[in-house]
Structure 1
């Protein structure tokens, strides 16, 4: 392994499910982009029926700046993210998608902040974001945002963007986040809000390919996620408790 065995500046966690066509090009982009510092990329395949796992193994090639791990978890985005967080070592942890939906605009916007808050969200809801999509996706996103505000009292615009979070905090908290699917990131936001942690939403630019994709989210999925928010509301008091490591530092 060519990677220097010290604490990485950044861990990138990439959940992978039936991602064969997009994963290899995305990992090539990561290798081109990361030409300094120390980064670990953790790929977590979860329940794929295609060759995603083999594709990940074939393309997990270390560079002087990047180390790779390829793991497997139970099916579900939340399960994959939890597995990747548990294995992470980075000072910051970026939870992102297999197809680089925003390119690197979320990372660049985060780096431009004068200070690094606990949680930085690559947010499609930011007024400077260029993330236009079809009508169905816009309605689904808007409906979920309204449900979060009504049920959870959340003031965050986008809980489904990329999550760039303090590594110590997320590793201390990750076992509290038990949703196996898409609500995992909403649990992160809920915990950060309940603990009154600093949160910043930064603008992103959707890639051309992503902008042309039709959503796979159906209206019934929005209903299911809204029902899931009711369960999250009951977790809010538990999420408000700081991790022991964070509480001791205060």
Structure 2
């Protein structure tokens, strides 16, 4: 199979209510772009896998192919599988409900991927429209400080959506070890340590995501701290130059 211009990687865990409208939106938006959508079902118990098989069997969108993969449960496991299978000159990592619509892609279309191989649809950008309440704002600031203290991270929102240079993504993919949501923080850490500063672009949060109260617990905060420490332990001393060099050889 040859390369395509763009790969969308969509993790799907218990996504039966969201994935079909997302695939319709992707088919419409990517028409004529020589694109592929790679959906990675991971540990669903709500029939998502069966639904994806039916959707794939009836897929009829010339110029936009659909592949369905499976991985162990977890966003990190799904993203690794999707990146490894990707063929795109650029690779988009998003969620099963497209939280920012296509703001991230629209912004990245104006960015040279050889200059900025990592573009982040960032809730931390000053021009983003992502009002989600005072408590979530305070927690976001706290997590940002924690990442800064533990990892020295400059990226404001490493848990946004990503538009990556394809070769860069496939070079860094095998280094990713986080099984869950911290995988994109790990990706940003690897980028920064190799001299690639992610470019954060503004996004607008979809209406369905607004007003959601935070469900973060003290246990979640502890787990994030432990996860960040694990990322630093695994990658802190041996990253510089490795990812950039691997991508340059491809």
2:240 matched to which residue of 1? 240
Identify the residue that residue 127 of structure 2 maps to in structure 1: 128
Distance 1:63 1:215 in 2: 38
Deviations along 1:112-164, one digit per CA (max 9) or x if unpaired, are 33x23110000000011001113332233222111111111111110000011
Q: How many residues align?
A: 244
The residue number in structure 2 matching 1:69 is: 67
C-alpha displacement of 1:59: 2.4
Paired with 1:194 and 1:206, the residues of 2 have a C-alpha distance of 29
How far did 1:110 drift?
1.2
User: How far 1:226 sits from its partner (Å)?
Assistant: 1.5
Aligned to 1:7, which of 3, 25, 28? Answer: 3
SS at 2:158's partner residue?
coil
Separation in 2, partners of 1:225, 1:75: 18
- Report if the CA contact (8 A) 2:15-2:48 is conserved: yes
RMSD: 1.7
Judge which range, 124-133 or 140-149, deviates more: 140-149
- Measured in 1, the distance between the counterparts of 2:45 and 2:216 equals 20
> Do the aligned partners of residues 207 and 148 (structure 1) sit closer, same or farther apart at CA in structure 2, a change above 3 Å counting?
same
Q: What TM-score results when the alignment is normalised by the length of structure 1?
A: 0.92
- Are 2:58 and 1:59 aligned? no
Q: Does 1:186 align with 2:185?
A: yes
Shift of residue 212, structure 1, vs aligned partner: 3.7
Structure 1 residue aligned with 2:26: 30
Q: Secondary structure at the match of 1:209?
A: helix
Q: Within 5 A, what are the aligned runs for 1:171-210?
A: 171-210=170-209
Distance 1:6 1:222 in 2: 43
For structure 1, list consecutive stretches of 5 or more residues without a partner in the other structure. none
2:236 aligns to what SS in structure 1?
helix
- TM score, norm. by length of structure 2: 0.92
Out of 69, 86, 89, which is 1:88 matched to?
86
Give the Cα separation in 1 of the matches to 2:249 and 2:105: 30
1:73: how far off? 0.5
Give unmatched runs, 5+ long, in structure 2.
none
Deviation at 1:37, TM superposition (A): 1.5
1:105 pairs with one of 97, 103, 109: 103
Runs of 4+ aligned residues of structure 1 deviating over 3 Å after TM superposition are 212-219
Pair 217,93 (structure 1): closer, same or farther in 2 beyond 3 Å:
farther
SS of the aligned residue for 2:37 comes to strand
Equivalent residues of 1:105, 1:204 under 8 A apart: yes
